[in-house]
A and B are shown apart, each in its own frame.
Chain A
């Protein structure tokens, strides 16, 4: 817990530093006529101060967290895998179109089901892609990316 808070404090300190640096580039103004950089600068400063407080609290609490167990690491792998799949989906959405890329994404997410019941996985992927297409593209008239087979 304390170690995680320490890491979080450092990350937030970086965000605060970036906010201070970036807002310093904007016109600061004066108290009777504050400019666009005025409020973000003060918020960056307050965020930095609170990050230091969090860091101090973490240091006082002390004690490193237990190292990640194998199971936890493999579960984290699932999260990383899904994030990569989502990033690929964003990249593929325009060139492949909504229906194909969504079908592939869902199929990828249903990998555990693919091992035992591939037909169900394929059916569910088709249902998710087709059903959402019908709801959004046909019913709600959202112009979803058509892909290589579209107009």
Chain B
């Protein structure tokens, strides 16, 4: 009952004309960038961060969250119609969505995707609403050792689940921790790695790093590889799936929502992994796995509901533990910090208008996205006709002027360009920038927690294994670190036995 009254308070915040407008703008921009390949949610959120400085914290977080979950809706449109995933989380939707479009079932694929996304998004918001407050209360028991163990586990999971090689993920996390240490030491306040440059004494501004890595970095990658999309001249036709198609989509939608919600809660999990796992699960459970890749309804319904559910549930670790699970959420974390709000267990109690306002805006945003998506499909397809050569300068200008506006400093513009070059280099060498960004933002917290734990325990390293919560988290982190080695040993053993 208490939850309902808190939620009513949240709706009172989210339904003000200003917040409704920000929710609409966020959902609209999110859908547009979801449609456009080459500009992902982290880049867009980074680009718009400076714009949010002048608006209230709740409005800012409503706007940025709308961009994040809106992109999940938009990404599927181009996957289905053009075989171009606007978003990494929609890559897997291309497999069956595009085939459905080729068979003249584009309307059904789009409807299943949009309504499935709406159901999954709403289910996930309910889960977030029910799970976040008790988790936040639990996290209030954490001391420095628990916080350190949680941060280590979070970073390990980002490296483990972040896609690609775990070694590279962990290298990025460590590199990010080092970058996060530039500036004043969090305990004693002495300068580190500043080389006499006073601008560096406050460390690298996170917004500049993100705008460089995701904004300039993505433009550089796209400038290099740009090829004209092969547009399928398909007829969308009616936007209604048949009764049989809905029956086929029902269970995949339910499973995708649940799976996406669970994976989204894990740091490093998120929308991309959940969509792939949902696709694999549906194929495994299907009585007709041979239909997958040839226009199976479950191949659209499962992944699309999973990525939307995961996008929403990835707010849980941020709002309850103060741990951003992916790059977009890290940027929302930064936006809250800029507004003087520290996401974490105290957020629900201390700033209920932000927490419940955001939750209520997610319900509203999901309805807006459903209403926006289907009627505006022709507009989104038109948007794709804007050549990248025209789009890229506008993105770059927005990044550069945004970087300048952070501190009104040309030095900051230079910093952004340097991080843009770094972002490009990282992608060329198959390093994911997300663990770097997360580690950079969590670095000062991790260091402070480690040093406080050691000071409190008089240098006894076993402090992390003496308290049950910290010990559990540390053991999980160690198991995760050792898992690739264990897998290799088991495989070798198995081959020996088989040989």
- A residues near B, CB below 8 A? 1, 4-5, 7-8, 12, 15, 19, 22-23, 26-27, 30-40, 43-44, 46-47, 50-51, 53-54, 57, 75-76, 78-79, 82-83, 86-87, 89-90, 93-94, 98, 102, 105-106, 109-110, 112-113, 124-125, 128-129, 132, 136, 140, 142-145
Chain B residues whose CB sits within 8 angstroms of the CB of A113 once the complex forms:
389-390
- Provide the residues of chain A in CB contact with B190, threshold 8 Å: 26-27, 36
Within 8 A of A (CB), among B391-417: 392-394, 396-398, 400-401, 404-405, 408, 410, 413-414, 417
B420 part of interface (Cβ distance < 8 Å): yes
Q: Is B385 part of the binding interface, using a Cβ–Cβ cutoff of 8 Å? A: no
Q: Are B220 and A43 in contact (CB under 8 A)?
A: no
Interface of A is mostly: helix
Given the contacts A75-B224, A109-B393, A142-B401, A83 and B175 also touching, CB distance less than 8 Å: no
Among B188, B216, B397, B459, find the residue whose CB has the most chain A CB atoms closer than 10 A.
B397
* B158 CB within 8 Å of chain A: no
| 13 residue pairs bridging A and B, Cβ less than 8 Å apart | A31-B459, A32-B457, A34-B451, A39-B447, A40-B178, A75-B223, A86-B400, A86-B417, A90-B410, A90-B417, A105-B400, A128-B397, A144-B404
- Residues B455 and A32 in contact, CB atoms below 8 Å apart: yes
Bound form: Cα–Cα A141–B48 in Å: 16
Residue B170 contacts which of A38, A50, A124 (CB distance < 8 angstroms)?
A50
A54 to B394, CA, bound (A): 38
Kindly state whether residue B371 has any CB partner on chain A within 8 Å.
Answer: no
With CB as the reference atom, state the residue of chain B lying closest to A128. Answer: B397
Task: Tell me the complex Cα distance, A32–B223, Å.
Answer: 51
Which residues of the partner chain A approach B196 to less than 8 Å between Cβ atoms?
none
Q: A36-B187, A57-B165, A113-B389 are in contact. List 18 more A-B contacts (CB 8 A).
A: A4-B429, A4-B430, A7-B429, A8-B429, A31-B460, A32-B459, A33-B459, A34-B450, A51-B171, A75-B224, A78-B223, A82-B223, A109-B393, A124-B393, A132-B397, A132-B401, A142-B401, A144-B404
Q: Are B171 and A50 in contact (CB under 8 A)?
A: yes
Chain A residues with CB below 8 A from B461, complex form: 31
Contact assessment for B225 and A129 in the assembled complex, using a CB-CB cutoff below 8 Å = no
Indicate with 1 or 0, residue by residue over B138-165, a CB within 8 angstroms of chain A CB atoms: 0000000000000000000000000001
> In the complex, A19→B413 CA distance in Å?
25
Complexed CA–CA distance, A132 and B120 (Å): 37
Q: What is the distance, in angstroms, from A23's C-beta to the closest C-beta of chain B? A: 8
Q: How far is the CA of A89 from the CA of B403 in the complex (A)?
A: 13
* CB-contacts of B257-278 with A (<8 A): none
Cα A113 to Cα B54 with chains together (Å)? 36
Complex contact B51–A12 (CB within 8 A): no
Measured between C-beta atoms, what is the minimum distance from B201 to chain A in Å?
13
Question: Cα distance A7–B410 when bound, in Å?
Answer: 32
Chain B interface category by residue count: 35 or more
> CA–CA, A86 to B217, complex, Å?
12
Known: A47-B171, A54-B168, A140-B54. Is A75-B225 also a contact (CB below 8 A)? Answer: yes
- Shortest A146–chain B CB gap in Å is 12
With a CB–CB cut-off of 8 A, which chain A residues contact B429?
Answer: 4-5, 7-8
Residue from A33, A43, A53, A90 in contact with B178 in the complex, judged by beta carbons closer than 8 Å: A43
Closest chain A residue to B221 by CB distance? Answer: A79
Min CB distance, B21 to chain A, in Å? 16
Chain B residues, CB < 8 A from A7: 429
Contact of B167 with A53 in the complex, beta carbons under 8 Å: yes
A39-B175 in contact given A31-B461, A78-B224, A110-B389 (Cβ < 8 Å)? no
B284 at the interface (CB under 8 A from A): no
Q: Do A145 and B420 form a contact, CB below 8 Å, given A4-B430, A26-B192, A124-B393?
A: no
Q: How far is the CB of B16 from chain A (nearest CB, A)?
A: 22
B171 touches A54 (CB 8 A): yes
Q: For the complex, what is the distance from the CA of A98 to the CA of B397, rounded to whole Å?
A: 10
Residues of A within 8 Å of B193, CB to CB, are: 22, 40
User: Most chain-B Cβ atoms within 10 A of its Cβ — which of A44, A87, A128, A145?
Assistant: A128
Known interface pairs A51-B171, A82-B223; A143-B408 also in contact (CB < 8 Å): yes
List A contacts of B165 (CB < 8 A).
54, 57
- In this assembly, does B380 line the interface, its C-beta being within 8 Å of a C-beta of chain A? no
Tell me which residues across on chain A come within 8 A of B394, comparing CB atoms. 128
Closest to B182 in A: A40
Closest 5 CB pairs of A and B: A32-B459, A31-B459, A36-B185, A109-B393, A8-B429
B414 nearest in chain A by CB position: A90
